[in-house]
Amino acid sequence: MVFGAFQAMKDQARNMRSRRKPSPQGEASAIEADEISRLMDLGDLYFRSENFASALESYSRARTGLPRSGRDYEKGLLDIKVARCYRARGEYLKAIEHLDRAKVDLRSRRDSIQLAKLYSLRGNILLSMGRYLRAQRYCDLAYKLLRGT
């Protein structure tokens, strides 16, 4: 049953790529918001099935579909998802790099829950790297942000 849903989402993403239209601003890489959402969902499905390479590919296609200006919040969320994939693959430095980009994008919205997720993930990555004091600082930041919600 899960495989059937997985295959249906994969087919749906493939069909939507073939119907891709350029945006009114003339950006050939921009795609519709619902397709971006589907690509993110497909990436999440790949992530849950531990197919991290395919998840990274889906997230990358979704990110390139976002307009160059604006939509910083969505870019930040995608960077967190990409960082989770790199963490699961053991590529900690790449994960931290994407978390840094996500922090810049998410600060404009001041979403304390997403920032707390970011700090918690970064703390866990640093813990895996053996950098315990820095890990504790980021986990404390996450706790303080969530305590205020």
Largest CA distance in the chain: 50
Tell me if the pTM is above 0.85: no
- Cβ of 25: how many Cβ atoms within 10 Å? 9
- Inter-axis angle of helices 33-48 and 52-65, nearest 10: 170
**CA distance to 60, 61, 80, per residue, from 131 (Å):** 29, 33, 20
Q: Residue 5 pLDDT > 60, yes or no? A: no
Report pLDDT digits (tens) over 94-125: 999 999 999 988 887 778 899 999 999 999 99
